Amino acid sequence: MSDQYDVVVIGGGPGGYVAAIRAAQLGLKTACVEARETLGGTCLNVGCIPSKALLHTSERYAELQHDMAEQGIKVSKAEIDVATMMARKDKVVQELTGGIAFLFKKNKVDHVKGFGSIPKPGEVAVKLNAGGEQTLQAKNIIIATGSESTPLPGVEVDEKRIVSSTGAIALDRVPKRMIVIGAGVIGLELGSVWSRLGAEVEVVEFLDRILPGMDAEICKQTQRILAKQGLKFHLGAKVTGAKANKSGVTLDVEPVKGGDAEQLKADIVLLAIGRRPYTEGLGLDALGVRKDNRGFIRVNEHFETGVPGVYAIGDCVPGPMLAHKAEDEGAICAEIIAGQSGHIDHNLVPGVVYTWPEVAGVGKTEEQLKEDGVDYKVGKFPFSANSRARCTGETDGVVKILADARTDKVLGCHIVGPLAGDLLAEAVLAMEFGGTAEDIARTSHSHPGMGEAVKEAALAVHGRPIHI
């Protein structure tokens, strides 16, 4: 393998591998340096994919236990075999990470297994996993080193009793009691998995609401639905310390507003208070690459770091820490390097929580519009009035569309309900095209479909929903 490249990408996650494949498609000689043995980064190895595989299995299990009898399906006794569930999850991960290796071969991207650093512009030094070092000359370097879970002082993760998401997707048995620190996306998804499988799950959250950043009204409904499913919430509560021993973990918790501290006990504690950019060992300070006060690499809208030929994308730069955002940035960055143009609007990156029902949002929340002083209209439609949701029995939730009061342009769409993540796609597309609520309302939606709830919410923006 020649060590002279047009593009060297450091990090083989969704940002890095997409950047590498796109660069190669554009005729650039490309290598991707990845410290893990497998490609796919956090997302494929320990993030999106394994968590969704477990969400799927636990959802089917919960369905068998709670939703079959009323449909006349008799199930004598459903049991969960954790080892088989985990083996299936591992197989899904293995197949998908192997798929990226195949795509690298197909596109002639060189996969360098090792830890990369940037001693100077135009050069990437790799400590090879197999031993030894290799230096790659690179006209362009893309940093795509992603993120890691944020630690909490006083709560030491041992991945046995006190686990991060990585430990929580690999437990060997269903805990009797689990405490999740953090009511964000990861905490609620993995809390749901173990709750459905039989654990008593309590969620401790510093803020007085769940899913910070998402539309507050939608989140309130989500909390009610999850509480009905058995999740217990302690909001406005601060974890100040944790002690783990063989039998479990004791957490010290106190109200954020002041008041009596209490101790909560659990077999497993999941620390899920967010993720932070990971740029250790790259040599960024010496190179002159600047970071903001939260550790994200500073880039302009072309992903340039300010050091000639050095770009950064994905979770290690500002914006939503999501796989599809990293992928889009990877493709755009490669296209810019190849002399093309492109940009990403972070306001139009959808966010989805894969609980059941799902929670999904794009664009501005109602709180943001109020804060920005925007004159807006709201249209809402509940799934309880949607005929398809009636057929499937999935009537919890609502679609909410926010549109500019003067122009009718869609400014935001927020959904809690069945398949919310997929339903949101039409709102994302409408917003990308500068569409209006009227555009969505006038679009034909097949019947009976969950999508009709989106159409009706758009009609409701103008006060003319039909089915409510």
Ligand X SMILES: Cc1cc2nc3c(=O)[nH]c(=O)nc-3n(C[C@H](O)[C@H](O)[C@H](O)COP(=O)(O)OP(=O)(O)OC[C@H]3O[C@@H](n4cnc5c(N)ncnc54)[C@H](O)[C@@H]3O)c2cc1C
Binding residue (CB under 6 A) for ligand X from 23, 24, 36, 381: 36
Our CB check for ligand X shows the closer of 175 and 319 to be 319
Binding residue (CB under 6 A) for ligand X from 8, 9, 16, 366: 16
For the chain, how many helices (H) and strands (E)? 14, 21
Our CB check for ligand X shows the closer of 146 and 451 to be 146
Count other C-beta atoms under 10 Å from residue 293's C-beta: 5
Catalytic site includes residue 234: no
Contact 30, 6 (CB under 8 A): yes
Our CB check for ligand X shows the closer of 55 and 253 to be 55
Please spell the DSSP secondary structure of 392-408, one letter per residue: HT----EEEEEEETTT-
Please spell the DSSP secondary structure of 308-330, one letter per residue: TTEEE-GGGSSS---HHHHHHHH
Contact 187, 272 (CB under 8 A): yes
Distance CA 437, CA 457 (A): 9
Determine, following the binding rule CB under 6 A, whether residue 48 of this chain makes contact with ligand X.
yes
Give me the 151-170 binding string for ligand X, x by CB under 6 A, dash otherwise. Answer: --------------x-----
Give me the 246-285 binding string for ligand X, x by CB under 6 A, dash otherwise. Answer: --------------------------------x--xx---
Nearest to 323 by CA among 349, 342, 295, 355: 349
Binding residue (CB under 6 A) for ligand X from 5, 28, 34, 141: 34
Our measurement of the distance from residue 85's CA atom to the centroid of its chain's CA atoms, rounded to an integer in Å, reads 22
Residue 393 CB, nearest distance to ligand X (Å)?
A: 25
> Of 346, 447, 462, 467, which is the active-site residue?
447
Determine, following the binding rule CB under 6 A, whether residue 184 of this chain makes contact with ligand X.
no
Determine, following the binding rule CB under 6 A, whether residue 328 of this chain makes contact with ligand X.
no
Determine, following the binding rule CB under 6 A, whether residue 186 of this chain makes contact with ligand X.
yes
Residue 97 CB, nearest distance to ligand X (Å)?
A: 10
**N residues, the chain:** 468
**Span from 38-46, 72-80, 103-111, 385-393 in contact with ligand X (CB under 6 A):** 38-46
**Span from 27-35, 61-69, 205-213, 215-223 in contact with ligand X (CB under 6 A):** 27-35
Determine, following the binding rule CB under 6 A, whether residue 361 of this chain makes contact with ligand X.
no
Determine, following the binding rule CB under 6 A, whether residue 55 of this chain makes contact with ligand X.
no
Which residues, 6+ apart, have CB-to-CB distance to 282 below 8 Å?
10, 116, 117, 118, 143, 145, 289
Determine, following the binding rule CB under 6 A, whether residue 115 of this chain makes contact with ligand X.
yes
At residue 33, φ and ψ (nearest 5 deg) are -100, 125
Our CB check for ligand X shows the closer of 118 and 155 to be 118
Contact 253, 202 (CB under 8 A): no
Determine, following the binding rule CB under 6 A, whether residue 322 of this chain makes contact with ligand X.
yes
Determine, following the binding rule CB under 6 A, whether residue 51 of this chain makes contact with ligand X.
yes
- Any bridge partners for residue 33, and if so which? 10, 112
Our CB check for ligand X shows the closer of 35 and 80 to be 35
Determine, following the binding rule CB under 6 A, whether residue 412 of this chain makes contact with ligand X.
no
**Span from 33-41, 81-89, 300-308, 365-373 in contact with ligand X (CB under 6 A):** 33-41
Please spell the DSSP secondary structure of 203-247, one letter per residue: EEESSSSSSTTS-HHHHHHHHHHHHHTT-EEEESEEEEEEEEETT
Determine, following the binding rule CB under 6 A, whether residue 116 of this chain makes contact with ligand X.
yes
Residue 133 to residues 124, 129, 264, 403: CA-CA distances in angstroms? 11, 9, 49, 56
Nearest to 296 by CA among 310, 275, 281: 275
Binding footprint of ligand X on the chain (CB under 6 A):
10-16, 33-36, 41-43, 47-48, 51, 115-116, 144-147, 165, 186, 278, 281-282, 314-315, 321-324, 326, 354
Catalytic residues: 447
